[in-house]
């Protein structure tokens, strides 16, 4: 069955970097658009980044543009989020999510990885 397993979260100082991973099973990443969505403590859901099924298109929320990079490894069937120059306001649980079809809803979500940016 479809599974998304996130990893790579942790505590990091401001200005440092962290890479999140999202290992997919039960389907092939290259057939779906994939997203990162975050949720700050006690807050709602916020889109962070997306990569199209063919990886030709990537986009980022303005608040992470130039600092975060979304990518995938088709051989490992794994999605990544490289986060550089982290700020306190980036503290959140980061979820990977699969887009059912282009321009569609999220049908599967990973369990989330907590990133805490603190000195």
Partner 1 sequence: EIVMTQSPATLSVSPGERATLSCRASQSVSSNLAWYQQKPGQAPRLLIYGASSRATGIPARFSGSGSGTEFTLTISSLQSEDFAIYYCQQYNEWKTFGQGTKLEIK
Position 110 contacts partner 1 (CB under 8 A): yes
Judged by beta carbon, residue 30 or residue 111, the one nearer partner 1 is: 111
For partner 1, the binding residue among 13, 41, 44, 56 (CB under 8 A) is 44
Work out whether 60 is an interface residue with partner 1 (CB under 8 A): no
Residues 6+ apart with CB under 8 A from 96: 4, 6, 20, 22, 34, 35, 36, 37, 79, 81, 109, 110
Copy the structure tokens of residue 14.
Answer: 């401001």
Number of alpha helices (DSSP H) and beta strands (DSSP E) in the chain: 0, 11
- Does 103 engage in binding with partner 1 (CB under 8 A)? yes
User: Which residues of this chain interact with partner 1, rule CB under 8 A?
Assistant: 35, 44-47, 95, 100, 103-112
């Amino acid at each position: 069955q479809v599974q998304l397993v996130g990893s790579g979260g942790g505590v990091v100082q401001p200005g440092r970097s962290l890479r999140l991973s999202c290992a997919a099973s039960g389907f092939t990443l290259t057939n779906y658009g994939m997203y990162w969505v975050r949720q700050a403590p006690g807050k709602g859901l916020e889109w962070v980044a997306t990569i199209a099924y063919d990886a030709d298109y990537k986009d980022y929320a303005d608040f992470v543009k130039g600092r975060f990079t979304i990518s995938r490894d088709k051989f490992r069937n794994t999605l990544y989020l490289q986060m550089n120059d982290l700020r306190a306001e980036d503290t959140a649980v980061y979820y990977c999510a699969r887009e059912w079809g282009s321009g569609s809803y999220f049908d599967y979500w990973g369990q989330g990885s907590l990133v805490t940016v603190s000195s």
